[in-house]
Chain A
Amino acid sequence: MVKKIWNTILFVWMSGVIVGAFIWATQQKALKEYTRIIYFHVPVSWITVLAFLIAAVYSFLYLKKRLLKYDAYAEAANQLGFLFAVLATVTGSIWAKVSWGTFWNWDPRETSIFILLLIYAAYFALRSAIEEQDRRAILSSVYAILAFVTVPFFVFIVPRIYFSLHPDPVINQTGEVNMDFKQRVVFFSSLITFTAVFVWMLKTKFEIAVMRLRIKKLEREK
């Protein structure tokens, strides 16, 4: 029952954000109609980083407590992060096509999302290479943490070395948000919605992971 209420709230909120983004919010001068992309593209990118953080936290917990559950959680978070990274890449490159003329031009942000995709791919490749459960859990946890400590370099430092085409006035290096009131409302509600959807998906993935572990245990007992 409680779950149903939450789902309804999430659904209404989500629709509200979409309607608000398309009708209510004003447009940025330099970006015109494309302002609206920010309300969807940026939250998706944010979730990619969030998923990566959660995966690193669970990897750390696994190394501390040695419960296979945590390793399964880290894998689940990474799989979701991969999905969102792909969505951010696809939507970003469509935007790049319409506003910069090419689908891909190694803008620092594009580089960082691409590297994130590579890290995810490497993580899954490592997992698939190891048969033994505990060994796989340890090695992939270590790799996830090692990869995570290099992420700040892509997100904050590399974009400073190279010139970026990404519209800085909207969200810039210093963390200021240059938006008017309406834009701000829609942007932050969208951020909250996407995070809520992500949490929901993550919970579902966790449930599946726990079920898998239980099945494996039951099968071994037989």
Chain B
Amino acid sequence: MRKAWLILQKDIQQEFKTRFAVNAILLFAVVTLTAVSFSIGTYSASQEILAALLWIILFFSAMSGLSHIFVREEETHTADTLKLVALPVNVFWGKFFFNLILLILVEIIIIPLYFAVMNFVVIHTSFFILVMLLGSLGLTGGGTMVAAIISKASAKGALFTVLSFPILLPVLVSAISATNSAVGNDPVSLTGNAIQTMIAYDVVIITASVLLFDFVWNE
């Protein structure tokens, strides 16, 4: 775990130098939010649609930024050195937490903006935060693994969304349905299923990724 922490630190330091991933993902999120806001207007959309739109914005922002972490290793040819000094499991955890921090950072900026621009009202705040956390965990878990696959394939980037979407859909669907209850459309008691699904999904996808990462990384 200490190695994973070191890799995370290294990635964060590197990111601070260029700020490429943060800028790309954040600007993408803002642009999508602007597009949505322009085309829908402030008061016309129901809370139900807004909950779905929020997750769609987050999903596509994640898709624009999460693959960067592995592509950079391949582009600067540092992947081989990393292979020598760290176990695949540690590499995975390092990259995973980097992506998680990246996504949560984006959420911290985008969600208040979304509240302000779209007139989005959350009734159960702590429940909403729980849903966001579980959803982000799922998105990063599946996203990081697919990003690792993509970085080894020749067609970089273009395939990322196509490959991730079917894998990430269970967490997206249940996150949208749980967000619906957080904004007060459905009673919270009804969405125990969605929360359970998200927890189960997070556990399954992260376990599978940890087990499979070895094969992709040492390919």
Q: Which residues of A contact B (CB under 8 A)?
A: 63, 115, 118-119, 121-122, 125-126, 129-131, 134-135, 138-139, 141-143, 145-147, 149-150, 153-154, 157-158, 160-161
Contact A161 B197 (CB under 8 A): yes
Task: Say which residue of B142, B174, B209 sits within 8 Å of A161 (CB atoms).
Answer: B174
Contact B167 A146 (CB under 8 A): yes
Q: Which of B142, B155, B212 has the most CB of A within 10 A?
A: B212
Contacts A129-B154, A143-B149, A149-B204 given: A160-B166 contact, CB under 8 Å?
A: no
Contact B167 A126 (CB under 8 A): no
Residues of B contacting A: mostly:
helix
Contact A129 B193 (CB under 8 A): no
Q: Which residues of B contact A (CB under 8 A)?
A: 142, 145-146, 149, 152-155, 159, 162-163, 165-167, 169-170, 173-174, 177, 193-194, 197, 200-201, 204-205, 208-209, 212, 215-216, 219
Q: What is the CA–CA distance of A130 and B151 in the complex, to the nearest angstrom?
A: 11
Contact B163 A161 (CB under 8 A): no
Residue of B nearest to A123 (CB): B163
Q: Which of B162, B166, B173 has the most CB of A within 10 A?
A: B166
Contact B153 A122 (CB under 8 A): no
Contact A158 B170 (CB under 8 A): yes
Q: What is the CA–CA distance of A125 and B158 in the complex, to the nearest angstrom?
A: 11
Minimum Cβ distance to chain B for residue A122 (Å): 5
Sorted from nearest, which 3 A-B pairs have the closest CB atoms?
A153-B170, A129-B155, A118-B166
Contact B155 A115 (CB under 8 A): no
Contact A146 B170 (CB under 8 A): no
Minimum Cβ distance to chain A for residue B49 (Å): 15
Q: Which residues of B contact A160 (CB under 8 A)?
A: 193
Could you list some 17 contacts between A and B, CB below 8 A?
A115-B166, A122-B162, A122-B165, A130-B154, A135-B152, A135-B153, A135-B219, A138-B216, A138-B219, A142-B215, A146-B145, A149-B208, A150-B169, A150-B204, A157-B170, A158-B170, A158-B197
Contacts A126-B149, A149-B208, A150-B204 given: A115-B169 contact, CB under 8 Å?
A: yes
Task: Say which residue of B159, B170, B193 sits within 8 Å of A150 (CB atoms).
Answer: B170
Q: Which residues of B contact A115 (CB under 8 A)?
A: 166, 169
Minimum Cβ distance to chain B for residue A140 (Å): 9
Q: What is the CA–CA distance of A130 and B158 in the complex, to the nearest angstrom?
A: 13
Residue of B nearest to A157 (CB): B197
Q: What is the CA–CA distance of A139 and B213 in the complex, to the nearest angstrom?
A: 10
Contact A142 B149 (CB under 8 A): yes
Minimum Cβ distance to chain A for residue B165 (Å): 7
Q: Which of B162, B170, B194 has the most CB of A within 10 A?
A: B170
Extra inter-chain contacts (4) besides given A154-B169, A161-B177, CB under 8 Å? A119-B166, A125-B159, A134-B219, A150-B205
Contact B201 A153 (CB under 8 A): yes
Q: Which of A121, A143, A146, A154 has the most CB of B within 10 A?
A: A146
Q: Which residues of B contact A158 (CB under 8 A)?
A: 170, 173-174, 197
Contact B149 A139 (CB under 8 A): yes
Q: Which residues of B contact A153 (CB under 8 A)?
A: 170, 197, 200-201
Minimum Cβ distance to chain B for residue A96 (Å): 20
Q: Which residues of A contact B167 (CB under 8 A)?
A: 119, 146-147, 150
Minimum Cβ distance to chain A for residue B138 (Å): 10
Task: Say which residue of B152, B193, B208 sits within 8 Å of A139 (CB atoms).
Answer: B152
Residue of B nearest to A118 (CB): B166
Q: What is the CA–CA distance of A197 and B171 in the complex, to the nearest angstrom?
A: 36
Q: What is the CA–CA distance of A146 and B193 in the complex, to the nearest angstrom?
A: 23
